[in-house]
Structure 1
C-alpha cells in the first residue's frame, strides 16, 4: 500500500488491541508501539485453534521508518538470528473505510508469490483485532524518489542500471502473468548496496486477459488507460519510458499545470527533450521507442535489455544474479519463517 506523492486513479489505495497471532514484539510503551505480548500462530500466519503444535517467532521493532494514511513502517529484527526486516503495520479501520479488502488481499497474494532479486520480498504476515502486520525485506537506502529529488537527475549509467533492473523484474512478473500498473519512483526502493527493488503491488493484477480498470498514477498512465481502453502488459513498458525520461531529466515527460493538460499531452504523446541536462541520442531513442501510443509497437522487454544504451551504460556487475538471490532467500526463510497463503483470508472479518 504505497504512500505516493502523485495523484492516483482507480479508487482509494492505501494499523491497540489484543493481538491474536504470531511472534513476540517488544517496543516502546506508547500505544503505537506497545507490541510486547507473545503471540502464537499457525504456519500460514492465522490464529491457531486450541490444541496442536504452535509455532513461535520473535521480532523486535527498533524504530519508526515511515508513516502514512494506512499505517506505519518499522525497522525490526528477528530475535534469534538478528536478521533485520521491515514491519509494515496497516490499520484495519482504513481497509474498511476505503473498502479495499479485495485489493489488499490480492496485493499480498501477488507479492508473496514473487521471488526475484529486484522485487521486495514479502516473507509473511500476522494480524490482531485492529492491525495487519506485513514482514518485508528491509531496503536500507529507502525510496529511489528521495535520491532522485536530492540529485535532481541521474547519470546515464545510474539510469541505465535502474532501467535494466526494472526490466528484468517486469519480465519476471509478466512471465507470471502479473501486470504491475503503477511503477513510479515512490514505489522503488534501494537496498544497502543500492540495488533496486519494486516495493508496492497495490494496483497489480494477475491475469492472462486484457484489463479495463483505470488505475495508477497520473503522470505515468499509458494512453490506453487515459482513453479508458482495455490494456495489457504493455502499460508497464510505457512506464519504463516515462521513468527513463524522469531519471535523466528529473521530471516526467508529460507533466503539466493541470490534470486535463497532462491527459492531453499523454494522449498526443507530446514528447520533447530539454536542452539541459545533456542526454545521449541512444537514451532518447530508447525513450521514443517506449513512449509509443500504439501499445503493440512499443519496444519489448527483451529488446530493452538488448538496446545499445543499456548495453553501453548499465552496470551489469551491480545487478544480482538469480542464483545468488535464491541462496540469500533460502537463508532468510530458514532464519525467519515461511508462510503459505493457501485459500485462507488475511482479512478475517
Structure 2
C-alpha cells in the first residue's frame, strides 16, 4: 500500500454466530506438526538479503514449492459452488505458515527520504539502504491505531501472506521489524505509481490496454488462489506499475488464507461481491467478481454500481442490472457478464476449471499466457521516470511530519505483533 485511500475504504467486522470447531484426526495433526517443522527449516535457511537478489529469487521458488507440497496434505478441498446450506465446520488449525521476517533489519539500516502515501494506520516512506544504496518502500503502521480499529488479525495476515508469496506481478516484502509504537515492513519500491493515477489521467483505457493489465492481474490472482489465499481488495489503487510498466499487486491488508470459506465484510464498497454484502459465507470467487469490476472500470472510467451513498452502492450490487456503455466490445461485455454474475454456479473463475475458464474466454483469445508470465509482452505504457534514482515523480506530495520511529520502552501491544 502506497496510499490507503480513505475516500472509499470501509472495514466492518460482522457479529456472526461462532464457527463450530472440529477436532482434526491425529494423522492430520502429525502432518501439521511436520508442516511446521519443514517451514521452520525453510525459514532458517532462506533469509532474504537485498545484496543477493539473484539467489533470493531461487530460494523463494524452492520455498514456494515446499509450501505448496505441504498444503496439499493438510488443506481441505476448496468450495467451488455456492450453497444456502449451513457452512461446514471449520478447523482453526488450518493456517498458512509464513516464514520468519523479524530481526533482520532495524531503523539504522535505512535513510528515510520522503513520504509516498498516508493512511489511517500510518505512512509509507521512500527509504534508501545504508548498505547497498538501493531504494525501498517502508510501510509504517501504528500499533495503537491497529488495535483501536480492530485490525490486528488483518495486519498479521498481511505479514504472513507477503512472507510466502513470490510472483512477477506481486510486490515483494524483504523483512519486518518493530519498536514500542510502530511496526515496519520493508518492501520493494515500485516507482511507476498506481494504475489508479494513470486511469484518472487517461479517463479510460482502450480495449487492448485494459486487456494487457487484466492478463497480468489474472495470473497474480490465479497464483494466490493456488495457495488458497483470497486477496479481497482488488482495485486500481492497489495495483502499481514497475519501471517497465508491468503491474505489481500491493497492499495485502485484507488478504487471507482460506481453504474453505470465510465471513468478514471487508474491502472497498464498489468492488465487494454480493455474497459478501449479504453476509453469506464466501470463498475465492469474490476475487473474480472484483476482477470483473476492475476490467469494467478500466474500460469505462467508472465502476458499474457506483453511488455517492455507500448503502445505495450495496443495493445496486445486490439488485441493479449490469449496463454497458455503447463503445464496449462484444467480447468485453460477455466476459464481464460472466464475471460480474450474482449466481456463483455461473460465475467465471468459480466453475470446474477455475481460472482456466477466465483465460480461455474469447476476450483473451490473442493472449499468450506463457509470454505474459515471462514478461515478454511489450508494455502498454512505460512510466516517465529515471530508473534506479529513487524517482518519486509518479507519487503525490504529502506534508512531512515529525516522526518518532525507533522509540524503545513500554510496549503494551507488543504481544499482538510477535511475528514482526
TM-score greater than 0.5 by the shorter chain: yes
| Equivalence for 2:102 | 45
Q: Is 1:284 the equivalent of 2:344? A: no
C-alpha distance in structure 1 between counterparts of 2:369 and 2:227, whole Å: 26
- TM-score w.r.t. the length of structure 2 is 0.64
How far did 1:317 drift? 5.4
Q: Confirm or deny: 8 A CA contact 2:162 2:172 kept in the other structure.
A: yes
| Pairing 1:137-216 to 2, within 5 Å after superposition | 137-216=188-267
2:362 to 308, 322, 328: 308
Mapped contact 1:118–1:196 kept (Cα < 8 A): yes
Greater percentage in strand: 1
Q: Distance in 1 between matches of 2:241 and 2:307?
A: 28
Q: Which TM-score applies when normalising by structure 1?
A: 0.76
* TM superposition shift of 1:220: 0.6
CA distance in structure 1 between the aligned counterparts of 2:280 and 2:102, rounded to whole angstroms: 39
Asked if 2 retains the 8 angstrom alpha-carbon contact of 1:269 and 1:293, the reply is no
Quote the offset at 1:165 in angstroms. Answer: 1.0
Matches within 5 A, 1:77-92: 77-92=128-143
Any idea what the Cα deviations from partners look like across 1:271-319, whole Å, max 9, x if unmatched? 10123xx221111111111111111211122122222222336897565
Q: 1:93 to 1:8 in 2, by over 3 A?
A: same
229-238 or 305-314, which deviates more:
305-314
Q: Which residue of structure 2 aligns with residue 37 of structure 1?
A: none
Does residue 109 (structure 1) correspond to residue 160 (structure 2)? The answer is yes
Runs of 4+ in 1 over 4 A off after TM superposition: 54-57, 313-319
The aligned counterpart of 1:58 is 109
> What corresponds to 1:34 in structure 2?
none
Instruction: State the 1:61 CA deviation.
Output: 2.4
Deviations 1:62-115 (A, max 9, x none): 222222221121112223322221111222221232232222111110111111
Is the 8 Å Cα contact of residues 160 and 314 (structure 1) preserved in structure 2?
no
Which range moves more in the overlay, 127-136 or 295-304?
295-304
Tell me what 2:417 maps to.
Answer: 346
Q: Can you give the 5+ residue segments of structure 1 that lack an aligned partner in the other structure?
A: 13-42, 48-53, 323-343
Aligned to 2:365, what secondary structure does the other structure show?
helix
Alpha-carbon distance, 1:256 to partner: 2.2
Alignment match of 2:151 (pick from 94, 100, 123): 100
Which residue is 2:11 aligned to? 9
Alignment match, 1:299: 348
Which residues of 2 match residues 17-32 of structure 1 at below 5 A? Answer: none
Unaligned runs of 5+ in 2: 15-99, 350-354, 377-414
Shift of 1:57: 7.6
Superposed CA deviations along residues 227-255 of structure 1, whole A, max 9, x for unmatched, are: 11111011001111101100000011011
* RMSD (Å), alpha carbons: 2.8
Structure 1: distance between partners of 2:238 and 2:346: 26
